[in-house]
Amino acid sequence: MQFSDVILKRKSTRAFLNKAVELEKIQTILDLARHSPSGVNTQPWQVAVVSGETKKQLDALLEEAFRSGVESNLDYQYYPKVWNEPFKSRRKACGLLMYSTLDISREDKQRQLDQWAANYRAFDAPVVLFFFMDSSAEQGSFLDYGLFLQSVMLAAVDQGLATCPQAALAEHPQIVKTHLGQDEELLLIGGMALGYEDCDALVNSYRTAREEYTSFTTFFD
C-alpha cells in the first residue's frame, strides 16, 4: 500500500467486527508511532491499551455517566467556547451527515441519544487506547501529541485496522484514571477506538467533506 493510500483510507470508524486485535499488531503500531517528532524530543505521550473485561467495565462506567447526565469535566478545553464560522457550519454538517446516513430524524431524540452513547463504549471496538500526558506540559506538547496520534492512526491502517479518535472518551477523566489506576495528576488527552472495521455497517459508509487545499493555502514567491 502506498503512503498516499494509507492517508486516504484512514477515517473515523464507528462500527467494528467482534474480532480480537492481535497483540503483535498493537505493539507494532506503537513501536512505529514512537518515532513521531516532538519538541526537543520530549516524547510526552503515555498510552493505556484497554481491552477485555477491563474495557467492558470502563465502557459501562462511562456510558452510565453520560446517560445519567454527569457533567463532562475534561482536563483541558478541547472545543471553542464560542463557535464561529466556518467551524460552526462544519460541525453542524458533520453531525447531520451521520444522522442522515443512519436515517435518524431530528425528532427521534432516543435514537440520537443511543447513537451518541456509543461514543463512551468506543463504538464497541475490541480495544481502546487512552492517551495521557504530564500535567506540566504546555501547548507545544499538545501539538506534539497530535503528530503522535496521526502516526498511530496511519500505522493502524497499515496493519489492516481501523480507528476513531475520540474527545468524548476524555470527558470523565476521573473515572478513567481511577479505573485504570493512573496518576490523577496526568492529563487525559483522549481515547481511540481500535479494531477491524465492520464494512457492512451503514454508519461506516459516509465520509465527511474536506476543503480543497487551495482554500487554506497561500503561495509566496
For CA atoms 90, 91, 97, 100, the dihedral sign is negative
Per-residue pLDDT at 1 exceeds 90: no
pLDDT at 69: 95
Strand, coil or helix: 184: coil
Taking each helix axis as running N to C, give the angle between helix 23-33 and helix 139-158, from 0 to 180 degrees, rounded to the nearest 10.
140
Domain ranges of the chain: 3-79+120-207
Per-residue pLDDT, averaged over 167-178, amounts to 98
- State phi, psi for 121 to the nearest 5 degrees: -105, 15
Q: Is the pTM of this model over 0.85?
A: yes
**CATH 3.40.109.10 applies to domain 3-79+120-207:** yes
Residue 12 has pLDDT above 90, yes or no: yes
58-82: pLDDT as tens digits: 999 999 999 999 999 999 999 999 9
